[in-house]
């Protein structure tokens, strides 16, 4: 392999049904920008919670854990993209999300309605910026 020395892959590898997936949880470019893969609220192969509030919190918990392994926190997130299965879940999603991303320092965000691969209500991806030094 001819590895790009300015790219760092954050593990552990994503597994589904016991099989390693071609997805890194996050990739760091130039030690600065952190691209976090779209996260869904699945735990041990099952949805983590029945409602949009618990699924949103669990998804952001996953992002927070990945960011930590990349040397960041939720405060360092600059952009999120959110896919909701049901438009009616928007208010509940937004309330839970606001508890984790306060308005004053919130990321830029796009939220659309979409189908998902996993049997869940929400998927969220994030881009963060590492701090210098």
Among 53, 71, 87, 122, binds a second copy (CB under 8 A): 87
Query: What is the distance between the alpha carbons of residues 3 and 86, in angstroms, rounded to a whole number?
Result: 41
Contact 100, 71 (CB under 8 A): no
Q: Which two three-digit tokens encode residue 107?
A: 């990321």
First-residue to last-residue Cα distance in the chain: 29
| Near a second copy by CB under 8 A: residue from 44, 46, 57, 105 | 105
Candidate list 35, 54, 57, 61; residue touching a second copy; CB under 8 A: 35
Q: Which stretch binds a second copy (CB under 8 A): 46-54, 57-65, 89-97?
A: 89-97
> Does 116 contact a second copy by CB under 8 A?
yes
| Residue number, 52 or 84, with CB nearest to a second copy | 84
d(C-alpha 64, C-alpha 87), whole Å = 25
Structure tokens at 112: 């659309």
Nearest to 31 by CA among 9, 15, 8: 8
Q: Which residues bind a second copy (CB under 8 A)?
A: 1-7, 9, 13, 20-27, 29-30, 32-33, 35-38, 73, 75-76, 78-79, 81, 83-84, 87, 90, 94, 97-98, 101-117, 123, 125, 127, 129, 131-132
């Amino acid at each position: 392999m001819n590895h790009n020395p300015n790219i760092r892959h954050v593990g552990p590898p994503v597994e589904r049904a016991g099989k390693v997936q071609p997805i890194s949880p996050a990739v760091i470019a130039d030690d600065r920008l952190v691209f976090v893969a779209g996260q869904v609220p699945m735990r041990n192969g099952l949805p983590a919670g029945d409602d949009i509030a618990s699924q949103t919190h669990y998804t952001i918990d996953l992002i927070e854990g990945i960011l930590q392994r990349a040397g960041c926190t939720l405060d360092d997130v600059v952009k999120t993209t959110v896919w909701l299965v049901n438009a009616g879940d928007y208010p509940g999603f937004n309330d839970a999300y606001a508890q984790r991303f306060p308005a004053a320092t919130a990321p830029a965000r796009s939220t659309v309605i979409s189908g998902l691969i996993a049997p869940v209500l929400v998927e969220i991806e994030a881009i963060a910026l590492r701090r210098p030094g």
